[in-house]
Structure 1
Amino acid sequence: MYLLGRLNMGGVEISALRLLTHLTAQYRVNPVIYAISGQTGYLDDRFRSVGATILYGKPGALGLLAFFKHVRAQRPDIVHSNVSLPSGFYLLIAWLAGVKIRIAQFHSTALPQRSVLHRAQSSVGRLLVNRFATHIVGVSDGTRSLVRAAPEKWQVIYNGVPAANDVALAGSNPFLITLLGRLAPEKNLEKAVEIFGHLKSMGDQKWKMQFVGPGTSDETTALKAKVLAAGLERDVHVTGPTDNPLVVLKGSGLLLLTSNREGLPTVVLEALSVGTPVVASALPGVLEIAGQVNGVIAVPVAAPADEWTRAITQSAAASRQTIASGFAHGPFGLDRQVERIARLWTLEAKDAKP
């Protein structure tokens, strides 16, 4: 049983879909997705298409009772939770229901600033994760700081993306800067608008920028208002979500990531896999990627716009072929992630003899 919040177009959900697609093709596994929000999502049918069953929970304390009933009815061998520190509450319930393998996986290095009550709930959740998880997994080593896991329970399994078979240089726009992901506050998109405004003020009119990703009506309206206020509406476009992120990234000259917090940003891995250079916030997960493959320039989040623009112009000269080739030989391949998760779940390959 694989716990997620809601099956929308986020990095965690896309990574889970990619993982389960390959696991169900290669191993004997019957995944059950448990959406703790109780809400349907954009990717529901995509998960069903790879053989997953989707169950919908309920929010709040009543949701824990509903989860207990579902676990008792389904009797899963494993509960694998991907809902940050609240995972502790769900793994406690899984323990009470008799589940032997209980996994908490962490995808971020920090939580958003919230109320005193939320901070208290997070503290309790952290204690419960460390008590009731049999395994604690991080998508980067930096995520360990959030959960403070004991060494004997902790391991890092990188999110994987498939290496590109080719790098389509033809058709890419070397002066197109792409931001790919949710239009959420933690993505710090106003910083991107500021950086682009500074870049245009330097006199080079060839540069364009696009924001590609889902957002609420309020988030989309607020972003467009910032672009308009900066006088950049002719060169900056907000396009909405895409089902083909690799196509978008292949057509871009550069990926820009201005987030305030991330775990191991999948979009950075996707960009590098097709040879697209990256300029990104110097967060722990970004630095972990930059330390192992080429193509990433990390800039402190609070750095002035001119430091970001220097990194952008420097990245424009990078070799896409060199970036893609280096990525293909690095540690972030999808096959490696699939193998590690299969071992964690003790799965049997479909071609194994009975």
Structure 2
Amino acid sequence: MTKKVLHVFGIMNRGGAELRTLSTLERMRKLGVEYEFLVLSGQKGVLDQEITKRGSKVHYCPLSLTFFFQFMSILKAGKYDVVHSHVSLVSGVILFISWLGGIKRRVAHFRSTHDVENPSALRRIRDKFLRRLLLTFSHYIAGVCEATLDAFWHFDWREDSRFRVIYNGFEQHNVVYQERFWHDYLGVSADNKIIINVSRMHEQKNHPRLIEIFCEYCQKNNDAVLVLIGKEDPEIKQQLQRIGALKNADERIFYLGEKAQVLPFMKHANMMLFPSKWEGLPGAVLEAASLGVPVLASDIPGVLEIAQQLDVVHYFPLVQSNQSWALQITQLLSQPLEHEVGRQTFKNSVFQLDHNVKQLYALYA
């Protein structure tokens, strides 16, 4: 018997949570689970067309005065078995309405460790109310790593059977190595080492610090280029270009924008540099690790959990100087690349896609 799951997001853009959920669609379908998606912004996202092509639907239900009635109408028409909400504490409202709508299985999923740094008294009251709704109306509360649940739940959630850590899963792909990949794509010499970063331009991703660290590396080395892939923000990009020009390293920095397929770029990189300020479970780090590509990332909780299992992932404190970070890069680039060793370690880890699907199916079944 087919089960229908309604996933609730803000918008279906190319974010980690959205991509990871979509990556499980085909495997879930083979297990008799069908996905549909609902977006609270009411706006179309870049993944909507792909979702439609894969035989699923996107429902647009903006948060407005009529939201309750629109959402209830969608629930009634869809006859869903499960509502799976990915919108942090606001999932409390989503699951409460789902309960009113007769949904038999309700799941909340936490994807980030970041909340408001200095919440107002009103915000604290709101969050306390939303947590109470979640504890009352959810069957399961999942987190992409232990740190995401630690960040939002101020009690020993490990003793509560409703809480589950479900690491995002990734399929390992065999990307063919091309000797002239970067020469053909960017015109750079094969002698250059490639440092890559895959992330959208946002405060969270810490791009200014990324550029500063790379520029510091360039002060003593002229053997590498930095490649940035991800959705660009015009203001942030201008800031990055100013930093690069001031440090005389702008000709060694390449901005490639958003790419539908990032694995070929990762495959041909010597390392990934990832100094994010906060994350849940950083997908780009895991994608690089799945290919055996070394990663140097900030010592944020999600990265630490990955590094416990994957030797190719290295972490370093953000409080350390740019010079210290540059030295770490030098040491990492001096080590021989052993892609197959890293790939084998990933193959035996909990970050495999099949493991992720198995855990999610257990929530739905």
Fold conserved (TM > 0.5)?
A: yes
**2:321 is the counterpart of 1:304:** yes
Runs (4 or more) in structure 1 with deviation over 6 Å come to none
Q: Do the aligned residues in 2 keep the contact of 1:224 with 1:238 (CA within 8 Å)?
A: no
Question: What is the CA–CA distance in structure 2 between the aligned matches of 1:227 and 1:66, rounded to whole Å?
Answer: 49
Relative to the length of structure 1, the TM-score reads 0.91
Relative to the length of structure 2, the TM-score reads 0.88
The answer to which of 114-123 and 180-189 deviates more is 114-123
Matching residue within 151, 158, 161 for 1:152: 161
Q: Do the aligned residues in 1 keep the contact of 2:25 with 2:34 (CA within 8 Å)?
A: no
Flag the 1:232–1:121 CA change in 2: closer, same or farther, 3 A. Answer: farther
Q: Which residue of 2 aligns with 1:279?
A: 296
Deviations 1:266-301 (A, max 9, x none): 111100111110000111110001001210111112
**2:25 is the counterpart of 1:20:** yes
Deviations 1:14-59 (A, max 9, x none): 11111113322x2222211001111101111111222211101113
Q: Which residue of 2 aligns with 1:351?
A: none
**2:13 is the counterpart of 1:8:** yes
User: What does 1:20-99 align with in structure 2 at a 5 Å threshold?
Assistant: 20-24=25-29, 26-60=30-64, 62-99=66-103
Q: Do the aligned residues in 1 keep the contact of 2:169 with 2:352 (CA within 8 Å)?
A: yes
Q: Do the aligned residues in 1 keep the contact of 2:215 with 2:244 (CA within 8 Å)?
A: no
Partner secondary structure for residue 198 of structure 1: helix
C-alpha deviation, 1:226, in angstroms: 3.5
C-alpha deviation, 1:323, in angstroms: 1.2
Flag the 1:59–1:297 CA change in 2: closer, same or farther, 3 A. Answer: same
Deviations 1:143-175 (A, max 9, x none): 111331462211111111112346738457771
Partner secondary structure for residue 351 of structure 2: coil
Q: Do the aligned residues in 2 keep the contact of 1:164 with 1:324 (CA within 8 Å)?
A: no
Q: Which residue of 2 aligns with 1:352?
A: none
How many residues are aligned here? 344
Q: Which residue of 1 aligns with 2:185?
A: none
Which has the bigger relative contact order, CA under 8 A and spacing at least 6?
1
Q: Do the aligned residues in 2 keep the contact of 1:80 with 1:102 (CA within 8 Å)?
A: yes
Q: Which residue of 2 aligns with 1:223?
A: 240
Q: For residue 160 of structure 1, what is the amino acid of its counterpart?
A: G
The answer to which of 316-325 and 119-128 deviates more is 119-128
**2:104 is the counterpart of 1:104:** no
Matching residue within 192, 209, 229 for 2:210: 192
Q: Do the aligned residues in 1 keep the contact of 2:297 with 2:303 (CA within 8 Å)?
A: yes
Flag the 1:84–1:153 CA change in 2: closer, same or farther, 3 A. Answer: same
Q: Do the aligned residues in 1 keep the contact of 2:199 with 2:231 (CA within 8 Å)?
A: yes
Question: What is the CA–CA distance in structure 2 between the aligned matches of 1:303 and 1:190, rounded to whole Å?
Answer: 15
**2:146 is the counterpart of 1:141:** yes
Consecutive unaligned residues in structure 2, runs of 5 or more: 1-5, 182-189
Q: Do the aligned residues in 2 keep the contact of 1:167 with 1:275 (CA within 8 Å)?
A: no
Consecutive unaligned residues in structure 1, runs of 5 or more: 347-354
Question: What is the CA–CA distance in structure 2 between the aligned matches of 1:235 and 1:336, rounded to whole Å?
Answer: 40
CA RMSD, Structure 1 to Structure 2 (Å)? 2.1
Q: For residue 354 of structure 2, what is the amino acid of its counterpart?
A: D
The share of aligned pairs that are identical, in percent, is 30
Question: What is the CA–CA distance in structure 1 between the aligned matches of 2:304 and 2:84, rounded to whole Å?
Answer: 27
Question: What is the CA–CA distance in structure 2 between the aligned matches of 1:319 and 1:60, rounded to whole Å?
Answer: 53
Matching residue within 269, 273, 285 for 1:256: 273
